[in-house]
A and B are shown apart, each in its own frame.
Chain A
Amino acid sequence: MNAATEFRVLVVEDDPDMAAFLARLLTGMAVESVADGESAMRSVKAAPPDMVLLDVQLPGKSGFEVCERLKSDPASALVPVILVTALEDHDSRVRGIQAGADDFLSKPVSREELLARVQTLRRLHETRRELEARRLAAEVQRKETIRKAFSRYVSPRLAERIIAGLADGEAPFMGEAQRADVVALFADLRGFTRITESIGVQHVVHMLNEYFAVLTDAAYQHEGTIFNMAGDSLLVGFNVPFAQPDAPARAWRAAVDMIGRFAAVSAAWRDRHGIATGVGIGMCRGEAIIGNVGSPHFMSYTVIGNTVNTAARLMQMAQADEMLVSGTLFDAIRDVVPAGRVEPRGDVALRGKSESIRVYSIRP
């Protein structure tokens, strides 16, 4: 049996003969002996044993006090404590039960009684530990599965926050669909159709991966949630699933980052393939419906509504390296966007929309 699996017993006994006797009987276990309550507390704190054999009459702190302290500390509350008392000392047993002792042993100590009590508590303790280990392993596995699933949609930090907030056994995003004020950001690649026509398939997939890598990095950097990735377009939501009071500014910074980060990729493509590309971005702020949409076999966490549709229309109109934002969003970021980069476009009629909306063009 190695040190990691050895059953460790702390004997707290001020009589050296008694301590030596108890240690000798606990053959096959790792026994540490201390002579007073303070030393016992220090030892347990440094390395909690699997069991404590605790004499009642100790110099300084009594065995009862030590037992109470051990049982009131979550780190040692589950460590079984056997109180060693005089045979006829009924009061000590009552006091011991009140202090949280798991079992009692009478002095003079009978070898058979000691071994029987230790073995019983050892089995109980090991069963309890095994159950706890299994529960923890299942919990870790469950959270890891959730983390892997989430990491495709939300930033690692956001995933941690969602997982940390989950109660045991609860599944994330299982609540009812809800209306929320969101900022929807749509991005796509200008000139992508030409790329697919003029460049080999194997290159196209690699290029798309490069493109999405920089865009998702930028989205995660500002803690956006990725709702959809189709063809060359990306839908990112802010203020969902958790409130982000600065969602408009986050969305704007994410958009600036997307265009900025993609510039290096675009330059490399121009050198490699002789093509000119850029990112076009549409953003809108307003109400949307968020929830799990689909069938029992295929479900996705989705954001839908007029705000999302408007962002999509604005994206379609945006030129390379241009952000087109709705008036509702611009009003919220007016103070953080440098004035020289903004060009009001007035009221614009969007395809499929009955009413025109205020639109602003921003260049990074």
Chain B
Amino acid sequence: MSESAYQVKVAKDLQDLIPTFLSNRKKELDALRTALAAADFEQLRQLGHRMRGVGQSYGFERVSDIGKRIEDGARHGDKTALEAQIAHYGEYLSRVQIAYE
């Protein structure tokens, strides 16, 4: 994936909320991994649904996108797809760059 895929523009008035937002995304990643290990598809669906709602609201379109894929994968019980998306989410969170404007 190109570098631009990890660049996010966030509204300046949300700047002070972002550290908590990102911290919660990392907790979310842990929860996704735990749920995947337990094959808890309902929990995975709920977490994906939440990512979808909150990500793009803050300007993190990619989080919503991955959230939708996780939600869909959980609905279909597609463990392989879920593994790939969760790994992708981890990578995204470790590389994401934020510009406030």
B24, B49, B53, B54 interface centre (most CB from chain A within 10 Å):
B53
A86 within 8 A of B: yes
Q: How far is the CA of A128 from the CA of B14 in the complex (A)?
A: 33
A18 within 8 A of B: yes
Do A17 and B14 touch (CB < 8 A)? no
Report chain A residues within 8 Å CB of B11: 111
Known interface pairs A17-B54, A18-B54, A21-B57. Does A86 touch B17 (Cβ–Cβ under 8 Å)? no
**A1-45 vs B: 1/0 string, CB under 8 Å?**
000000000000001111011001001000000000000000000
Report chain A residues within 8 Å CB of B21: 17
Chain B interface main SS type: helix
Report chain B residues within 8 Å CB of A111: 11
Do A16 and B14 touch (CB < 8 A)? no
Do B49 and A24 touch (CB < 8 A)? no
**Least distance between B28 CB and chain A CB atoms (Å):** 10
B55 within 8 A of A: yes
A152 within 8 A of B: no
Number of interface residues of A (CB under 8 A): 14
Which residues of B from 53 to 85 have beta carbons under 8 Å from A?
A: 53-58, 64
Do B53 and A107 touch (CB < 8 A)? yes
Do A108 and B64 touch (CB < 8 A)? yes
A58 within 8 A of B: no
Q: How far is the CA of A109 from the CA of B11 in the complex (A)?
A: 14
Do B49 and A21 touch (CB < 8 A)? no
Do B53 and A24 touch (CB < 8 A)? no
B20 within 8 A of A: yes
Do A15 and B13 touch (CB < 8 A)? no
Q: How far is the CA of A17 from the CA of B53 in the complex (A)?
A: 10
Known interface pairs A24-B13, A24-B14, A108-B64. Does A86 touch B53 (Cβ–Cβ under 8 Å)? yes
Do B20 and A20 touch (CB < 8 A)? yes
Do B49 and A17 touch (CB < 8 A)? no
**Least distance between B60 CB and chain A CB atoms (Å):** 9
Q: How far is the CA of A18 from the CA of B28 in the complex (A)?
A: 14
| Selected contact of B17 from candidates A17, A107, A109, CB within 8 Å | A17
Interface residues of A (CB under 8 A from B): 15-18, 20-21, 24, 27, 57, 86, 107-109, 111
